Amino acid sequence: PKFSKIQELLKVMDVIAEKRNVSLAQITLNWSIQKEYVSTCLVGATTTKHALDNCRAFDFQLNEEEMQLIDNKLIELGFCEGE
């Protein structure tokens, strides 16, 4: 059940990534760095291309609507509580 919930969350994030023409990893990192309660992001990169792609997550900022879409899905799926 948890895997299917993660799949649902990834679908929401994938739509945002597609609209912005960025990778899903960039959306995930960008969301994380905008959250005050996230103090560390563990990122893996097996190639220079992956590392550069991850760094591009700092080239933009998700807007309030995009952040809310992700947050609402996290709440809906039971991964966190509403504020």
Q: Is there a contact between 46 and 22 (Cβ–Cβ < 8 Å)?
A: no
Query: Which residues make Cβ contacts (< 8 Å) with residue 74, sequence separation at least 6?
Result: 9, 80
Q: How far apart are CA 31 and CA 67, in angstroms?
A: 7
Q: How far apart are CA 83 and CA 80, in angstroms?
A: 9
Q: Which of left, alpha, beta for 21 (phi over 0: left; psi -120 to 50: alpha)?
A: left
- Per residue in 7-57, pLDDT (tens digit) is 999 999 999 999 999 999 999 999 998 988 777 777 778 899 999 998 999
pTM of the model: 0.86
